[in-house]
Amino acid sequence: MLTIAISKGRIFADSIPLLAAAGIEPAVDPDKSRLLIIGTNRPDVQLLVVRATDVPTYVEYGAADVGSAGKDVLLEYDSDGLYEPLDLNIARCRMMTAARVGYHPAGQRLRVATKYVKIAQRYFAAQGIQAEIIKLYGSMELAPLVGLADCIVDLVDTGNTLKANGLEPRELIMHISSRLIVNKAAMKMKHAQVTEFIGHLSQFVANA
Ligand code: AMP
């Protein structure tokens, strides 16, 4: 059995063609179902529907053999207990700093609100900028509007969310996309099945 950990929403929609390229069709649409373990057209393949930030955990501990996770999630998870053999080139966006339109902080120490604490810490340290990182779990756009932070670090796709809240993108920290991750033991114990799966996905990504 090959067990694939996947999250709902954006990543799942983009993953359907990738799974199809590997001959895998989910039995139900997870966005329309409450099922957390989903069978497929292949008796030897099942999907686990987990939170995006939990995908690396399921894969590292071997509850799933493979999974798809954003580079942002992987950098925050920060483990060397996973293989990351393939950039799936889906769910692409940018990790950026953003601030109120026209606002330029004057103080010595920048206050930065973000869900992406490790990425932000590394970025500002590399820039030689003293930053106080304030951890939030969502709606980061609010923080600069109410004086909680000078700026935020968040994912930007169209930029509409920033714009709607009177913020503007500033510096690009990195480009983000989803990656295939593989459990280290599964790579050995299920070698044929895992490498065949990676092969199909690589071919699809190369031709996309
Ligand atoms: P947008 O308004 O199109 O710039 O989208 C920004 C919002 O969508 C932010 O709240 C982001 O956290 C979220 N977002 C954008 N792209 C992604 C992605 N690839 N994965 C997860 N969240 C994303």
- The whole-number pLDDT of residue 79 equals 96
Q: Which of 68, 90, 156, 174 to mutate to test the pocket of ligand 1 (most atoms within 8 A of CB)?
A: 156
Strand 82-87 with 93-100, pairing = unpaired
The reply to whether 139 and 169 lie within a common domain is: yes
**10-residue averages of pLDDT along the chain (208 residues):** 93 92 95 94 97 97 98 97 97 97 91 98 97 98 98 98 98 98 98 98 96
Q: How far is CA 53 from the centre of its chain?
A: 7
Cα-to-centroid distance, 42 and ligand 1 (Å) = 32
Tell me, using a 6 A CB cutoff, whether residue 158 lines ligand 1.
yes
The reply to whether 129 and 168 lie within a common domain is: yes
The reply to whether 189 and 170 lie within a common domain is: no
The reply to whether 86 and 184 lie within a common domain is: yes
The reply to whether 10 and 66 lie within a common domain is: yes
C-alpha 124/C-alpha 139 separation (Å) is: 21
The reply to whether 16 and 44 lie within a common domain is: yes
Which atom, in ligand 1's list, is nearest to the CA of 163? 2
Measure the CA dihedral 15/50/165/98, to 10°.
Answer: -80
> Which residue stretches of the chain are H helix?
10-21, 55-60, 71-77, 117-127, 142-145, 160-164, 184-189, 191-207
The reply to whether 162 and 181 lie within a common domain is: no
What SS3 state is found at 183? Answer: strand
- The whole-number pLDDT of residue 68 equals 97
The reply to whether 149 and 54 lie within a common domain is: no
- The whole-number pLDDT of residue 190 equals 98
C-alpha 202/C-alpha 102 separation (Å) is: 43
The domain containing residue 32 runs over which residues?
2-91+177-207
| Number of domain units in the chain | 2
Global pTM value: 0.96
Strand 2-6 with 45-49, pairing = parallel
Residue with tokens 């295939």: 180
Tell me, using a 6 A CB cutoff, whether residue 161 lines ligand 1.
yes
- The whole-number pLDDT of residue 148 equals 98
Q: Is 36 exposed, middle or buried (0-12, 13-18, 19+ CB in 10 A)?
A: exposed
CATH of residue 17:
3.40.190.10
The reply to whether 8 and 84 lie within a common domain is: yes
The reply to whether 101 and 66 lie within a common domain is: no
